[in-house]
Amino acid sequence: MRAASSELRIVASALGRHLFVVDGSRIYDLPDDADLELELDELDLDDLALDAIAPESRRRIDDAPLAPPPLQSLSLNLAQACNMGCAYCYADTGRFGGRARMMSSEVARAAVDRLIVEAAPGADLLIGFMGGEPFLNRALMREVVPYACGEARRSGRTVRFSVTTNATLLTADDVHFLADHDFQVAVSIDGPKALNDAQRPLKGGGSAYERVVGALGLFARIGRPRHLSARATAAPGGGPLLPILDHLIALGFDSVGLSPILVSPDPRHAFAAADFDRLAADMIACGRKAKHAILAREHYPFSNFATALHEIHRGSHRPYPCGAGAAYLSVNADGTLYACHRLIDDARFAMGDVRSGSDVARRATHLAERHVHRQEPCRSCWARYLCGGGCYHEVDRRGRAGCDYIRAWLTFCIASYAEISAQAPGYFTAPERHYAPMRRPALPAEVIP
């Protein structure tokens, strides 16, 4: 028997109760007077005659895997090396377990060419710069960006750029460059100074936090890029998350995202099974604050929550957790292609190289194997089309340890969605008018050399 709980979920919100239909990620309000005593686990799907709401013949997601689509995005590991020594780093201080090395100009250009060759006509391309610390190879970044712009234009496409950086090496020139080329900049910073510097030591000493604040000062003085976000890695020993979020939002970032460590070279830094309940409660506390801010039309850009809300509003449903191996690949310093930036130098996720092309057969196999219908316990989980099966890197190294946490978080997000869409629908339908005039805190102006 197939439990109805694999196709339906009842979620309670301040408005009442809602029915989440897994097929199509559809949300319905249940009538108040419904005398529901559904114990979905014990109801057989066949008895439920789900046809009215999710007919077998019209399922939105079937077992067919995605065929490898044209590439749309590449991340370039400009520097497999780093000036910091964060213990939890998936990149093992940038070296990915190998030797430190820089990408060459030839490889970078070949990567751009490769992306263009394998992209769809007229596509909007995205090139990300990662590492290690990409600004260790800033000369190459300065060279590749105009090259990519020219090549993209010549091929009738547009290209945007992003960079993930620890922001400890940024100069005024760098800030100009990022603003001029409309970058999306993600700054890695874990919280207030003490916490941050404890988790993120600079090789050679000094305060990474102060360096980041200094960089923010440069942005304030010189000009902001297209988007300036903070990515905070949450460690189990880091304490409650809400103060971290508050602090980072107050620094003036356009958005702040929290990323709990699930996989780390040193397992002490990763959340253990026993920690997930607390993690869920912490994240929900952050989400609750963000929700109240939205209802009060105040800025509190907690990106995990905002992203979830919009996906739920649209009813996103997909059998994969992300685009890795599909339209997104990552390039290591030597030019080999991997499914994503976390899986650099992992031979099992190698997918061709920039000179001879992506390995389409390998990508196809990857997409066939990773379809959520073929994962356990995903295939019977109600959250499968929102979650997609979990990050390939995390699942590969550690398995699916955090499913309860994910489900708790998603349940909270669905309920929040119901409340916000009822009380402040403009947040979704007319976002440009939703907020009161911007009261985003200004970036700190002091510049610390």
19 binds other proteins (CB under 8 A): yes
208 binds other proteins (CB under 8 A): no
Q: Which two tokens stand for residue 247?
A: 């602090």
DSSP secondary structure letters along 145-165: HHHHHHHHHHTT-EEEEEEEE
Q: Which two tokens stand for residue 43?
A: 């109801």
Question: CB-wise, 270 or 410, nearer to other proteins?
Answer: 410
Question: CB-wise, 42 or 180, nearer to other proteins?
Answer: 42
Contact partners, residue 389, CB within 8 Å, separation at least 6:
319, 320, 321, 370, 372, 375, 378, 395
Q: Is 247 helix (H, G, I), strand (E, B) or coil?
A: helix
What single-letter DSSP state applies at residue 228? E
The span from the CA of 382 to the CA of 380, in Å, is 7
306 binds other proteins (CB under 8 A): no
418 binds other proteins (CB under 8 A): yes
| β-strand pairing of 184-188 with 227-234 | parallel
Phi, psi of 256 (to 5 degrees): -130, 130
Binder to other proteins among 7, 18, 126, 215 (CB under 8 A)? 18
CB atoms within 10 A of CB 294: 23
Inter-residue contact 282 to 243 (CB < 8 Å): no
38 binds other proteins (CB under 8 A): yes
As measured in angstroms, the least distance from the Cβ of 12 to other proteins is 9
Question: CB-wise, 400 or 428, nearer to other proteins?
Answer: 428
As measured in angstroms, the least distance from the Cβ of 38 to other proteins is 6
Binder to other proteins among 14, 34, 194, 250 (CB under 8 A)? 34
Binder to other proteins among 26, 142, 226, 288 (CB under 8 A)? 26
Question: CB-wise, 52 or 436, nearer to other proteins?
Answer: 52
As measured in angstroms, the least distance from the Cβ of 276 to other proteins is 23
What single-letter DSSP state applies at residue 41? G
31 binds other proteins (CB under 8 A): yes
Question: CB-wise, 69 or 315, nearer to other proteins?
Answer: 315
The span from the CA of 211 to the CA of 213, in Å, is 5
55 binds other proteins (CB under 8 A): no
Binder to other proteins among 28, 172, 180, 446 (CB under 8 A)? 28
Q: Tell which phi-psi region holds residue 145, choosing left (phi > 0), alpha (psi between -120 and 50) or beta.
A: alpha
Q: Is 2 helix (H, G, I), strand (E, B) or coil?
A: coil
Binder to other proteins among 193, 293, 421, 434 (CB under 8 A)? 421
Task: List C-alpha distances in Å: 179 to 160, 215, 218, 283, 447.
Answer: 12, 13, 11, 32, 18
As measured in angstroms, the least distance from the Cβ of 385 to other proteins is 10
Give the count of residues interacting with other proteins (CB under 8 A).
Answer: 34
Over the window 113 to 132, marking each residue x when it contacts other proteins by CB under 8 A and - when it does not, the resulting string is --------------------
404 binds other proteins (CB under 8 A): no
366 binds other proteins (CB under 8 A): no
Inter-residue contact 94 to 73 (CB < 8 Å): no
| β-strand pairing of 336-338 with 328-331 | antiparallel
Question: CB-wise, 425 or 441, nearer to other proteins?
Answer: 425
As measured in angstroms, the least distance from the Cβ of 289 to other proteins is 23
CB atoms within 10 A of CB 265: 15
The kind and range of the H/E element at 78 are strand 73-80
CB atoms within 10 A of CB 173: 12
Binder to other proteins among 39, 106, 369, 446 (CB under 8 A)? 39
Binder to other proteins among 145, 163, 284, 312 (CB under 8 A)? 312
Q: Which residues would be at the binding site for other proteins (CB under 8 A)?
A: 10, 18-19, 21, 24-31, 34, 36-40, 42-44, 47-49, 52-53, 312-315, 317, 417-418, 421
